[in-house]
Amino acid sequence: MGGMDEWPIAQRIVVWVIPVVFAITVHEVAHGWVAKLRGDNTASMLGRLTLNPVKHIDWIGTVLVPGILILSFTGFIFGWAKPVPVNDKNLANPRVDMALVAVAGPVANVLMALLWAGIARIGVSVEVESISSPLIYMGIAGVSINLVLALINLIPVPPLDGSRVLACLLPPKWAERFNRIEGLGLIVLLLLLVTDTLSVILGYPLYYLQQFFFTIAGI
């Protein structure tokens, strides 16, 4: 089996694009689905509970940023979609339910990583290289992007999902103050990315999680 580095650029892009788009899409749908279960139909009424990626595309987060990272071949790829709208006033227990809605995204990504590991395992068992190689490499890409999204979103910096969970654990007054720094949170994330601190923070957990899922895949 030849390495992905030997493939034409177009093929390498395709191998990454499909897992990236679906990782971001499923992440957002999971938020809306759990919100609906907890009493808020906002996402459903706006047609956002669909796996059609077009409904969720953010041209910067879903196209530009992942595209640049794919073409740079850094191996560290992430992105985002248009946030699924959630009206916490419709939730039965807003503080707890918002945390459940938030954690649904990373959980969905972990489950997607498991699915992609299964696809890679199918590729390993296929003896025809023209079929096995795309399945294996797309499976590897799927595992990687979903684990990256899950880990990044668990960082407790607004507006990431981890911040919603932390806000639920804080006393109400502290949570209110914490949520006010959402604008600064974006600056913090940008600094973490530019200074390569983000990859340092995620490096060890990402590596060991990847090894676990790659073992499942038989790679």
Q: Where are the domains of the chain?
A: 7-217
> What is the pLDDT at residue 16?
83
Q: What confidence tier does 53 reach under pLDDT thresholds 50, 70, 90?
A: confident
Residue 80 has pLDDT above 80, yes or no: no
Position 1 confidence tier, pLDDT thresholds 50, 70, 90: low
pLDDT, residue 30, reads 96
Average confidence (pLDDT) over 69-95: 79
pLDDT value at position 173?
87
Q: Residue 76: what pLDDT?
A: 64
As to burial, measured by CB atoms within 10 angstroms (0-12 exposed, 13-18 middle, 19+ buried), residue 38 is buried
Give the pLDDT mean for 151-179.
87
* Peptide bond connecting 159 to the previous residue in cis, omega within 30 degrees of 0: yes
Would residue 176 show up in a list of annotated catalytic residues for this protein?
Answer: no
| Model pLDDT, residue 26 | 94
Give the model's pLDDT for residue 144. Answer: 92
Which of 7-11, 16-20, 61-65, 188-192 shows the lowest mean pLDDT across its residues? Answer: 7-11
For the cut 90, the answer to whether the pLDDT of residue 118 exceeds it is yes
Mean pLDDT value across the chain: 86
Decide if pLDDT at 177 tops 90.
no
Candidates 6, 28, 129, 176; catalytic one: 28
Q: Over 70: is that where the pLDDT of 61 sits?
A: yes
Would you state the structure tokens that stand for residue 100, as one six-digit string? 């459940």
